Amino acid sequence: MNYTTLISVADLAAHIDDPDLVIFDCRHELTDATVGTRVYGESHIQNARFAHVDKNLSAPPNGKNGRHPLPDPAVFMEWLGKAGVSNNKQVVGYDASGGVYASRLWWMLRWVGHAKVAVLNGGWQAWLAAGHPVTKEVPGPKTAKFTGRTDRSAVDAGHVLNNLNSPAMRLIDARSNDRFRGQNETIDPVAGHIPGALNRFFKDNLDTQGRFKSAAELRAAFAPLLGNTPASQTVHHCGSGVSACHNLLAMEIAGMKGSRLYPGSWSEWIADPSRPIAT
């Protein structure tokens, strides 16, 4: 197996017992961090382990580093090893939210150098709709050794600030259109967006069935946003560095490779009142 962006329900079902496959259930709700653990305990895909967005895919916030800061890479890699991920394993993540949380897992594995990671296209709903079995059984311990090294795919607030007016950076905000405009903000204490950012709501990457649109459709949608800016100079952000990963994945599917993530995103940006905002 070598899936690096998406995997279909049919392909995952065909490989469900493959010893070189590690599956993570990434279901989560921003408004209730207990939901994922609860629904995982009720039922999940066979052999799936649980990845908690707040506890495993983030570090504790300190009020200045955003709502979902990246964990220490060594801590993240240790957790991967304890979950059975080694450097040769195929990893698959799924959720029930169009892939937004699974895409955070996808990006983080790539961040530490693991390319064999994919998001289940259509997620939990597509798995159930196809009639595949689910279970309450939690996989037993299967510790492995994972070694990796972080790449340059993440940028910090300083990078964004220093390039606000530079053609060397194209900034794309994955939040909903109204939050981007500074309207109906219900999550963060300050409304608006980073000056110069363009808006691409992550849910627009999906079709009516909750699956990612075709590569051609995604490429046609992102090309006007990038203009003449190379994908490698494109920086994605959102509220806290989670849904932005969905846009990163969409661009990879479209063949527009190498864009970067500002993990701190809006929630970190507004923690320093000296940083400019726009509405």
Phi, psi values for residue 236, rounded to 5°:
-105, 145
Two tokens at 6? 């998406």
Alpha carbon separation from 53 to 44, 87, 174 (Å, rounded): 16, 22, 18
Question: Which residues have a Cβ under 8 Å from the Cβ of 263 and sit 6 or more positions away?
Answer: 66, 68, 69, 70, 154, 241
Two tokens at 228? 């003449």
Residue 120 pairs in a beta bridge with 7
Q: Does 245 qualify as catalytic in the annotation?
A: no
* Three-state DSSP class for residue 119: strand
DSSP 169: -
State the catalytic residue, choosing from 6, 22, 218, 238.
Answer: 238
**Burial classification of residue 143, based on how many CB atoms lie within 10 Å of its CB (0-12 exposed, 13-18 middle, 19 or more buried):** exposed
Radius of gyration of the chain (CA): 18
DSSP 99: T
Phi, psi values for residue 212, rounded to 5°:
-65, 140
Enzyme catalytic residues: 238
